[in-house]
Structure 1
Amino acid sequence: MCVSKVNDNRCKMINRSKLGKAVRGVLTRAKVERRLICGLLPAIAYLEKTPDDVVICVLPQTRPGDATTHIQTVLLQAFCYENYIPVIQVNSSEKLADYCGVSSKTGCNCAIIVKDPAASPTTPDDEIPLSPTEKILADFYECTLEEFPRPVIELPI
């Protein structure tokens, strides 16, 4: 994915109030399709080997006073930015853990969605197509690159 000039019409069409459900749907579908990697260390290990296979990175807001996780998250965001991987921030590590099927007591401090190996590009230079919902989240990321503070998506129950 290449970050270029943002199409204002595309950005205006994104309904931000429905993005939480979109994130939940993308995570649930990726989990069923075995394309979901949850946890900071497994995500970093996967990114280290094959960053081109990552479609989206989902990160919850870090808790105040958790300096270690905050530093790891900032470095992960920078890595994703350098590799053109959209980073979606969400409001709850517990809800993210629920969607990923991980213990909600510990929470989930990172989830990445990888490309579907069954989907193949038509030519070697083409990218593997994203699902419509993944495309909406990628567009949202591109449309909000210059927003500060970065928008945080509220996850539904």
Structure 2
Amino acid sequence: MYEDSVVPVKAETFSGVAAKSSVSQCIKTVLLTACVEKRLTIGLLPAIQYLSQNSNGALFCLTAPPGDSATHMQEVLLQAFCVENGIYVIKVDSDKKLKKLLGCDIPNLDFSCVLVHYPYTDPFSDSQEIDLSILTESERDLIRHCESNWDYAQMPVIKLPEK
């Protein structure tokens, strides 16, 4: 079912750090930058726990194909929560590629969901607006991509690079 929804994304190019790159390369740049800056939550349950405490702290939620029906139901609820709270949901084609991309070799770590947090959020601020100037070019490019696909009934699944 999930594989059937993998659709080619428009051959757009982006202006960010990964200049003239595809959406998948832009995702790679965003993930690696966030990893270095320790702005990731990896795993479905840790993501749900993080968002239950801090619904304004996440910028992107990347999801990979679910392993079973119970996980699928949790992912659907998480995606609905993210959309309701203005968190950009990006579906990717493989949790194994996410794991490889991040260079993590921790056994039994769930890569079906990865949250990318904002670079900085003021916990005392009541403002829902985020200062886009603090985001990297790749993050802004990825936001533009997500907003261009925001109204589609079915989000496209992005094929991540093999390396």
Instruction: With the length of structure 2 as denominator, give the TM-score of the two structures.
Output: 0.75
**Which of 139, 148, 151 pairs up with 2:144?**
139
Matching residue's letter, 1:15: T
The aligned counterpart of 1:153 is 158
CA offsets 1:112-140 (integer angstroms, 9 cap, x no match): 111113x87xx985523321111111111
Q: Distance in 2 between matches of 1:30 and 1:18?
A: 18
The aligned counterpart of 2:99 is 97
Shift of residue 79, structure 1, vs aligned partner: 0.2
The aligned counterpart of 2:24 is 20
The aligned counterpart of 1:115 is 118
Aligned residues: 141
Structure 1 gaps of 5+ residues are 1-11
The aligned counterpart of 1:6 is none
Q: Secondary structure at the match of 1:96?
A: helix
Describe the shift of the 1:51–1:14 C-alpha distance in structure 2 as closer, same or farther (beyond 3 A). farther
Higher-helix-fraction structure = 1
**Which of 69, 73, 76 pairs up with 1:74?**
76
Q: Distance in 2 between matches of 1:102 and 1:94?
A: 10
The aligned counterpart of 2:85 is 83
Q: Percent identity?
A: 35
Matching residue's letter, 2:115: I
RMSD over aligned Cα, in angstroms? 2.6
Q: Distance in 1 between matches of 2:93 and 2:145?
A: 16
Structure 2 gaps of 5+ residues are 1-9, 15-20
The aligned counterpart of 2:64 is 60
